[in-house]
Amino acid sequence: MYDATQKLKHKILADSDRCVMCGLCLPHCPTFKVKRNEADSPRGRILLAKALAEQQLEADENVRAHVESCLHCLHCEHVCPAKVPFGRLIDNTKHYLAEQQQITPLPLWLKPLLASRKLRLLFASVIKLYQLSGIQAWLRKRTFFKRSTIATWDAMLAKREYISAALPHSNINSKQTVALFSGCVATISDQNTLRATRQLLTAAGFKVQLNNKQHCCGAIYRHSGDLEYARHLMLKNSKTFKADIPVISCASGCGAMLQQYDNELSARHYDIHTFIIKHADHLSFRELPETVALHTPCSMQNILKQQAMPKKLLSLIPKLQIVSLKPETGCCGAAGIQILQQQSQGDVLADDTIDAMKESHANILLTSNVGCAMHLRRRIWSRKLDYEVMHPTLLLYRQLQTTKHQ
């Protein structure tokens, strides 16, 4: 244990020593823009991490708050001239604090829910019953419900949409098999996106494998300081997916984590937008003379680095006007578990995104990350606005017309 802790501290110090303290990251940090506090900037957090590793600073409540409020957006890494691996540094710092029992990686009730596929499917069934039975619609009309904490959770749920279980016809004779990575949160809260993604892949000529033994990607655990369990999930997922099959993710947060696996699975992982656009010659879409707003998650921009792909894919829908949102803060504030732990900070950042949405005059907000979608839905509801939030693949599925004949 002592050796492991010493190695961890050495890693923190090695990464923090790369920072030249230039401050170029500060204007790009969402939490610094909101709080205007040096300790809530990348440079400030690097200094805190270094002081903690050198045991020159006690991890009191104030210090922990500065470290834990980091959104892992990695805008700082994108502009850093010294190439400081800030994501790795902050993950290791949280892990160090967790080992010292200074922070709890995840709420006790959340870890078993995300870790157990049976529990996730049970929870998803309860939500399905809640929505289809009319209970949700009835409660949403009641004043007592609108004032309750449960209402804020309810607002995060995607509107349930009928998506046929029957697979679309494809004129392509040779069907390659691909595996769909469903993730943990989307399994519970956004089955629409998973079904729509499967339909698009099938229409494009692929046989979609739904692996019931897959696990959470590990991102939530990693960014909460539980690096060991995150690695455990990585190894289990690597064994679960067959080595010769491409793995497709539709949530950019999961995709970013899969992309960072230090094994062969990362090499055969594809984001759904990038994968479909390569095989879109077999697809056609109905016209949609509307304006939609496109939100780019930080994970899509700064880790996957495929921020142009969703717009390129959506451009296949004739007459669709796409407005790319560019909020001043650069992040919606969801950031995985932060959606629960840093709600006031997240609200300020979400408002920036929603204000940009209002200027676009669109009624549909598209985002490729399930956490961002849940966070923005809740904030839209709290502001009494009427915008529909969905994944780009769901809109593409709605407009899917037929496969083209070769």
| Segments making up each domain of the chain, as ranges | 2-99, 285-403
The pLDDT, as a whole number, for residue 35 is: 92
pLDDT tens digit string along 202-251?
999 999 998 888 889 999 889 888 899 999 999 999 988 877 899 999 99
The pLDDT, as a whole number, for residue 188 is: 86
The pLDDT, as a whole number, for residue 1 is: 52
5 compared with 102, residue with greater pLDDT:
5
144 compared with 366, residue with greater pLDDT:
366
b/e 236-247 (16+ beta carbons within 10 angstroms → b): ebbebbeeeeeb
**Sole residue written with tokens 């970013």:** 256
Mean pLDDT, range 125-134, rounded to an integer: 91
pLDDT exceeds 70 at position 33: yes
| Count of Cβ atoms closer than 10 Å to residue 197 Cβ | 28
pLDDT tens digit string along 277-303?
999 988 999 999 999 999 999 999 999
Q: Is 267 helix (H, G, I), strand (E, B) or coil?
A: helix
Fold equal for 2-99 and 285-403: no
Mean pLDDT, range 363-382, rounded to an integer: 94
Which CATH architecture describes the domain 2-99?
Answer: Orthogonal Bundle (1.10)
4 compared with 46, residue with greater pLDDT:
46
CA distances (Å), 196 to each of 66, 113, 386, in order? 39, 24, 23
Contact by Cβ (8 Å): 375, 350: yes
Q: How confident is the model at residue 406 (pLDDT cuts 50, 70, 90)?
A: very low
Mean pLDDT, range 98-105, rounded to an integer: 73
Contact by Cβ (8 Å): 293, 385: no
Which CATH architecture describes the domain 285-403?
Answer: 3-Layer(aba) Sandwich (3.40)
The pLDDT, as a whole number, for residue 79 is: 94
| Mean pLDDT across the chain | 89
Q: Is 82 helix (H, G, I), strand (E, B) or coil?
A: coil
| Count of Cβ atoms closer than 10 Å to residue 361 Cβ | 10
pLDDT exceeds 60 at position 403: no
Whole-model pTM? 0.91
b/e 16-53 (16+ beta carbons within 10 angstroms → b): beebeeeeebbebbbbbbbbeeebbbbbbbbbbbbebb
**How far does the chain reach from its first CA to its final CA, in angstroms?**
62
The pLDDT, as a whole number, for residue 232 is: 92
Residue 77 tokens, joined: 């890494």
Q: What is the 3-state secondary structure (H, E, C) of the chain?
A: CHHHHHHHHHHHHHHHCCCCCCCCCHHHCHHHHHHCCHHHCHHHHHHHHHHHHCCCCCCCHHHHHHHHCCCCCCHHHHHCCCCCCHHHHHHHHHHHHHHCCCCCCCCCCHHHHHHCHHHHHHHHHHHHHHHHCCHHHHHHCCHHHHCCHHHHHHCCCCCCCCCCCCCCCCCCCCCEEEEEECCCHHHHHCHHHHHHHHHHHHHCCEEEECCCCCCCCCHHHHCCCCHHHHHHHHHHHHHHCCCCCCEEECCHHHHHHHHCCCCHHHHHEEEHHHHHHHCHHHEEECCCCCEEEEECCHHHHHCCCCCCHHHHHHCCCCCCEEEECCCCCCCCCCCCCHHHHCHHHHHHHHHHHHHHHHHHCCCEEEECCHHHHHHHHHHHHHCCCCCEEECHHHHHHHHEEEECCC
Contact by Cβ (8 Å): 383, 359: no
Distance separating alpha carbons of residues 329 and 227, to the nearest angstrom: 28
The pLDDT, as a whole number, for residue 405 is: 41
- In the chain, the percentage of residues whose pLDDT exceeds 90 is 62
Least confident of 68-77, 341-350, 375-384: 341-350
Distance separating alpha carbons of residues 139 and 131, to the nearest angstrom: 10
